[in-house]
Amino acid sequence: MEVDGRIDLSNRSGDETHAAGETSRETSNFFGGPLRSLWEFAGGVNLAERPRGLAAEREAPPGPDPSLLDTATDGLLARRASDGDEHAFETLLRRHLSLMTAYATRLTASRADASDAVQEASIAIWRELPTLTAPDAVRGWMMKIVSRKAFDLIRSRKPTADVDDDAVVAQLPVTDAGDPARLAVSADAMSGLRRALDALPALQRQAWILREVGGESYGEIAEHLGITTTAARGQLARARENLTREMEAWR
Amino acid sequence: MNDDTVTLERLAHYLDSGRVPYDPSIEDVPENASQLATLERLRVLSGELLAEDAAADPDPDPRWISGVMERVRQEARSGRDIPLDSDGAATLHMTEGAVRGLIREAGDSVPGAVVISCSLGGDVSAADAPVRVEVVISALRGQYVPVMADEVREAVTLQLLRQTELDIEAVDIVVGDVHLLETGVAS
């Protein structure tokens, strides 16, 4: 086929260096974290040697070199996924799956429910990615969908949602991996916090996790818990009192 | 407790605001400053606790992942149908989503370039209607961008001519982002 004869190649390249959708908003919550506005990939990957698509593969182009996506930023994966790239979505999901599961487990107090909630959340994330306005903050956005799906599940299971608290405690042992020097100082506090959180009534525990880990607003917490905003503030206030009182004992 | 102590809620809001502007009625009152430090520590510990939970989480069940991805593919945003033959007897089609996949593959194959997104302008569902392709890429910092953009344009054009019957009017390349090598210095 004649490439030159068929197309008029316009030359817009290089002129537009504005980053598309690169608004990085600082968030104070745990999931927001420091935002990486640049993405990185491993050197030495010879992209030129990747096989070209064959006619037989027309309906399902092969996925990209995994190392290309594995080292891409969340923001780039989110934008590719919202453009329909399933491989980018799977990479994004795998990257944050254990945190999504941990969050859902703390909220539902059930490992099995957490797995179901995260599954529903994953589909909702795929579905709603095209509406995401700040791709670089995708992790926090994903976690909000996880909490939404966790409470959908809790509501559908009432009133037995809290029965297997003990099972969760058993399944989430304190792991002593990490910096030994830091652990010497904080291990007692961490296991103390675990015990204190597990001892809190469900609403207080959920309000605390949603607020302090998920960075959700009073209004969002109230909606999740099915109570008024004033009542949500009350639950959070009691959680703060209980946890700070416990904390005094660890100092 | 004395008259100068403030509520935990007020302390939490002060913490939320990043302790700005400086509030002497909190910072300069020892009881309040102590409670504030406790709250801050609780907040940090809560984040670390979740990170520990996550680190202790076993690798995901491959069946769980494949189950999710199967549902994702069922909801694939395949877009418009694009005729594969220009002879009028348009019985063969490929989806717009598959064409996007071809564009991503071609763009990614250029060293230093990664496709962020792409769009097809024009009536792609009609055979022989002119189509304008726009590809947004991320460029490796340090590469001469105009040359890379030309290479991406060429790779995408060639790929689409080989694999589709689209009548391509133009392939526009927009550099939407710059990235670093993993070992590179932070900007």
Q: Give the model's confidence band at B181: pLDDT under 50 very low, under 70 low, under 90 confident, else very high.
A: low
Of A249 and A75, the structure prediction assigns the larger pLDDT to A75
| CATH number for B144 | 3.30.70.1350
Q: Give the model's confidence band at A2: pLDDT under 50 very low, under 70 low, under 90 confident, else very high.
A: very low
**Same domain for B166 and B87?**
yes
**Other Cβ atoms within 10 Å of A46 Cβ, number:** 8
Q: Does A25 touch chain B (CB under 8 A)?
A: no
Let me know: does B16 contact A29? Beta carbons within 8 Å. no
CA distance A76 to B138: 8
**Same domain for A180 and A151?**
no
Peptide bond into B21 cis (omega under 30): yes
Measured at the alpha carbon of residue A191, what is the angle toward residues A103 and A34, in degrees to the nearest 5? Answer: 45
Q: Give the model's confidence band at A108: pLDDT under 50 very low, under 70 low, under 90 confident, else very high.
A: very high
Task: Kindly tell me the burial class for residue B64, based on how many C-beta atoms sit within 10 Å of its own C-beta (0-12, 13-18, 19 or more).
Answer: middle
**Same domain for B96 and B30?**
no
Contact check, Cβ <8 Å, B46/A237: no
Query: Which A positions 122-161 lie with beta carbon below 8 A of chain B?
Result: 122-123, 126-127, 130
**Other Cβ atoms within 10 Å of B159 Cβ, number:** 21
Task: Give me the number of domains chain A comprises.
Answer: 2
Of A39 and A137, the structure prediction assigns the larger pLDDT to A137
**Same domain for B172 and B101?**
yes
Residue A44 lies in a domain: no
pLDDT of A11 reads 39
Residue A32 lies in a domain: no
**Same domain for B123 and B37?**
no
CA diameter of chain B = 88
**Other Cβ atoms within 10 Å of A23 Cβ, number:** 12
| pLDDT tens figures, A193-247 | 999 999 999 999 999 999 999 999 999 999 999 999 999 999 999 999 999 998 8
Residue B64 lies in a domain: no
Residue A49 lies in a domain: no
Task: Give me the number of domains chain B comprises.
Answer: 2
CA distance B169 to A240: 63
Nearest in space to A84 (alpha carbons), one of B138, B104, B175: B104
**Same domain for B167 and B92?**
yes
If you count them, how many residues does chain A have? 251
Q: Chain A to chain B, count of Cβ pairs less than 8 Å apart?
A: 258
**Same domain for B91 and B162?**
yes
Residue B67 lies in a domain: no
List the domain range (segments joined by +) for residue A196.
172-251
Among residues A162, A187, A209, which one ends one of the domains?
A162
Contact check, Cβ <8 Å, A61/B105: yes
- What contacts A188, CB < 8 A, 6 or more positions away? A250
- Given the DSSP bridges, would you call strands B93-95 and B81-83 parallel, antiparallel or unpaired? antiparallel
**Same domain for A126 and A85?**
yes
**Same domain for B82 and B170?**
yes
**Same domain for A186 and A126?**
no
**Same domain for A241 and A202?**
yes
pLDDT of A109 reads 94
**Same domain for A73 and A157?**
yes
Among residues A104, A127, A162, which one ends one of the domains?
A162
Determine what percent of chain B is predicted with pLDDT higher than 70. Answer: 92
CA distance A217 to A236: 11
**Same domain for A100 and A144?**
yes
* A175 pLDDT more than 50: no
| pLDDT tens figures, B85-135 | 766 565 678 889 999 999 999 999 999 999 999 999 988 888 778 999 999
Contact check, Cβ <8 Å, B60/A39: no
> Which parts of chain A fold into alpha helices (H)?
3-6, 66-70, 74-82, 86-108, 111-128, 138-157, 165-171, 180-199, 202-208, 218-225, 229-250
Residue A28 lies in a domain: no
**Same domain for B42 and B119?**
no
| CATH number for A138 | 1.10.1740.10
pLDDT of A196 reads 94
Residue A85 lies in a domain: yes
pLDDT of B2 reads 65
Residues of chain B with Cβ-Cβ distance to A12 below 8 Å are 172-174
| pLDDT tens figures, B38-66 | 999 999 999 999 999 999 988 888 999 99
Of A33 and B135, the structure prediction assigns the larger pLDDT to B135
Contact check, Cβ <8 Å, A119/B48: no
Nearest in space to B100 (alpha carbons), one of B85, B88, B117: B117
* A168 pLDDT more than 60: no
**Same domain for B126 and B169?**
yes
- Written as one string, the DSSP assignment of A93-139 is HHHHHHHHHHHHHHHHS-HHHHHHHHHHHHHHHHHHGGG-S-GGGHH
Tell me the average pLDDT of chain A.
74
Tell me how far apart the terminal alpha carbons of chain A are, to the nearest angstrom.
76
Q: Give the model's confidence band at A68: pLDDT under 50 very low, under 70 low, under 90 confident, else very high.
A: confident
pLDDT of B77 reads 78
List the domain range (segments joined by +) for residue B42.
8-56
**Same domain for B34 and B120?**
no
In sequence order, the β-bridge partners of residue A44 are none
pLDDT of B91 reads 67
Mean pLDDT confidence for B130-141? 94
Of A8 and A143, the structure prediction assigns the larger pLDDT to A143
Residue A53 lies in a domain: no
Residue B175 lies in a domain: yes
Mean pLDDT confidence for B20-49? 95
